[in-house]
Structure 1
Amino acid sequence: MLKDKILSHLRGKKNLLAFSCGADSTALFFLLLKHEIPFDIATVNYSLREQSKQEVAYAEALAKEHNLTSYVFNAPKIEQNFEAKAREIRYDFFSKLSQTHGYENLLTAHHLGDRFEWMLMQFCKGAGCAELSGMQNTQKRDSYTIIRPLLHLDKQELIEYLKSSNTLYFEDESNLDESIKRNYFRHNHTTPLLKKYLDGIKKSFAYLDEDRDALIEEADIKNIDEFAYFKRLQTQRSDIYAIDKYLKSQLYMLSANERELLREQETLVVGRKFVINQSKEFVFVAPYVTKVVMSSEFKEECRVLKIEPKLRNYLYKNQEAFLKIKELL
């Protein structure tokens, strides 16, 4: 069920599986064992359900049975904006594990249904081909690569695989809550369509991937600490795609409105977290910093170099980034 191209990325590497005990990650767990791929597992416990204790115990029992290392993080209580905050907590945990223990790949169990949900949600908000193609099989982060081996498979195919071997997995009851947008799309749109048009939807995503690769030029993004920059590409469309991709790696999701504003504005602050400056030749992304007392000499140097004012507070605190932007401008 796993593609040879994906397996080649995993063999001989140190792999970490994001494991939730749900059908998706459980199927991936046993598929990795079947293909003799080395991996360990990482589980985040949000302690929202009584079942969470059973899931953690099952994860640790599986790890012990198959001689794997199991990492468990008990997340703090999330008061609001649960979906976004939970994602931030998850990926912060996975990133720290990857950096500390040298994991080269983070494996997630996103499948075709997840990708289809994302596509429909983006379509309803306003998106182009690059956004509609959604999740990719591989996505490079600073110190590791996210790999999604199941994107070509529907959830029902994964459930049938588990049932064929009578393998235990857990169902998260929160997946039934249609007040959560992705659940609404799943139950009312993507699941019925996948049942009826599975082969056609798989082919459509293959075409979308080809179109994205043809339309979007990849940026060579450089980093100095939290300061990122790249040479502007042939089209602003490719620039914005690169900005969006980089910010996702920093756990920030651009809204459809913010992507539109990037078309119109040379400089934009997003989420009061990042400042994006599209200069004539380069794109700069830095943490948004305020209330820094700068020297008059520094202010004058920035004025002469025509450095975007919203970048200056961060650059004043990061001399290496300042020297680089001076060199580029």
Structure 2
Amino acid sequence: MLKRLLLKKNKKYLLGVSGGPDSMALLDMMHEYHICVAHVNYNLRNDTEEDYKVVHDYCELHQIPFYYKEFTPDDYVQGNFQTVARDMRYAFYQEVYKKEQCDALCLGHQKDDVIETIYMHLERDSHPEYLGIQEISERLGMTIIRPLLHVTKQDLRDYCNEHHIAFHDDYTNFQTEFTRDRIRNTILNHYTNSQKEELLKQAEEYNQKQALKKKEIKKYLNEPLDYTLVPEDLLPDVLYALLKKHIEVSKISHHLIDEIIHQIQSSKPNIQMPIGVNEEFIKEYNNVYVRKSIKQLDYTYRIVNRQDFDCPYFKVRSQGEMNDGIPVKDEDFPLTIRNIRPGDRMETAGGTKKVSRLFINAKISSPLRRYWPIVLDCRGNILLVPGIAKNKEYLSINPDLFVIK
């Protein structure tokens, strides 16, 4: 019954066990593996001590490390209970997972859970990456394995009865207060086996199409990404996959994707768009990428000789690319290297130019302009904007000082 191909004897597993027949069957099937157990009590019902007792007693009998976390209603007064409870539960699992140095978290979800999840997605007309429940997934840095998705709840209840494994039913599972319970107890309990199999078949076809799409999306996921190369019908999915690499999935909405598409398809060549607490979406002409937010900070460094120098914004070397170098004179020292200031101008072979205009002509994005190094002599004359322009008096083919961005 247990899908052992997903498990290895030399790995350590954390089991999330509620005390119901699904998770208690999983616990009994895995008690010979290297495991530890985590149990959560939300104190939502008046009989949760029974849940605790069946899990605790089994672990004590088999000498399995047992971890227990108790919450009160005050802990989840805000928001949707099931969402908040799930977040609290997984946070506790993560705490135990790290402490016990586990390789994976195993959960007792089964075939009926899969069917319920499929129905919920179809009822909401949502388009998830995966329709149903995956056998192997990731959450909070934990590998999650569900080795019972191919068997029904009744199969697991029968297993517990046949093997004399104590369990305790959560009576709220038979109510209709929550969406999943409503679907289970008022809709799916009237479905025939063939109707349920049809739902599973529908999900399988959907997931096969998603797998092909995911393969196609992968071709475009280099950063920076030239969004003009992405087929229009695939662009929302590619952007979703790009964002998912940097921020929590819960922060990625259809509205956010639509707004990003609106912004990048505008005539603005450069865009800097906050998408999270510490992340921002960047458009630089045809290229887009996500980066950590950075604050505008002016910097100024004094260079007194031709020795190598390193800082977070540039480095000074005696060799480099021709466009990054100038032939400095002893009387030019000390040099100043800083970022752009309002009114910066330099004497180029083509006349006096604003540095801001030089950046625009070179198609340098706004975020990069803020940190691009500018080299001045001791009199305040701009000698070099590396890779972009040189002072007309410093165009020699024999540069000896290179400022590398």
Shared fold per TM-score greater than 0.5: yes
Contact persistence 1:219–1:231 (CA under 8 A) = no
The corresponding residue for 2:240 is 240
1:64 aligns with 2:60: yes
Higher helix share: 1
Deviation at 1:53, TM superposition (A): 1.7
1:284 aligns with 2:284: no
The corresponding residue for 1:113 is 112
Give the aligned residue type for 2:41. Answer: N
The corresponding residue for 1:78 is 76
TM-score for both structures, normalised by structure 1: 0.71
The corresponding residue for 1:177 is 175
Contact persistence 2:116–2:183 (CA under 8 A) = yes
The corresponding residue for 1:252 is 250
Deviation at 1:78, TM superposition (A): 1.5
Contact persistence 1:40–1:69 (CA under 8 A) = yes
Deviation at 1:251, TM superposition (A): 7.7
Taking the aligned partners of 2:189 and 2:260, their CA distance within structure 1 comes to 34
Contact persistence 1:240–1:262 (CA under 8 A) = no
Alpha-carbon RMSD across the aligned residues, in angstroms, is 3.7
- 5 Å-filtered alignment, 1:315-326, equals none
Higher relative contact order (CA 8 A, sep 6+): 1
Contact persistence 1:122–1:132 (CA under 8 A) = no
Spell out, residue by residue over 1:153-189, the C-alpha distance to the aligned partner (whole angstroms, 9 max, x if none): 2222222222223432111122233231111222233
Contact persistence 2:15–2:37 (CA under 8 A) = yes
The corresponding residue for 2:212 is 214
Give the aligned residue type for 1:104. Answer: D
Structure 2: 5+ residue stretches without partners = 265-271, 300-312, 314-338, 341-358, 369-405
Indicate which of 27, 30, 34 corresponds to 2:28: 30
Spell out, residue by residue over 1:88-130, the C-alpha distance to the aligned partner (whole angstroms, 9 max, x if none): 11111111222222111011112222222222222233333x5
Deviation at 1:51, TM superposition (A): 1.4
TM-score for both structures, normalised by structure 2: 0.59
4+ aligned runs moved over 6 Å, structure 1 = 267-270
Contact persistence 1:15–1:104 (CA under 8 A) = yes
Taking the aligned partners of 1:188 and 1:241, their CA distance within structure 2 comes to 36
The corresponding residue for 1:11 is 9
Taking the aligned partners of 2:69 and 2:28, their CA distance within structure 1 comes to 22
The corresponding residue for 1:135 is 133
Spell out, residue by residue over 1:248-283, the C-alpha distance to the aligned partner (whole angstroms, 9 max, x if none): xx583755655665665668767x767563756565
* 1:83 partner SS: helix
Give the aligned residue type for 2:97. Answer: S
Provide the aligned length of Structure 1 versus Structure 2: 287
Spell out, residue by residue over 1:14-56, the C-alpha distance to the aligned partner (whole angstroms, 9 max, x if none): 10001100121111112223xx322111011112222112221
* 1:60 partner SS: helix
Structure 1: 5+ residue stretches without partners = 221-228, 309-329
The corresponding residue for 1:89 is 88
Which structure has the larger Rg? 2
1:101 aligns with 2:100: yes
Taking the aligned partners of 1:268 and 1:126, their CA distance within structure 2 comes to 29
The corresponding residue for 1:154 is 152
Higher strand share: 2
* 1:216 partner SS: helix
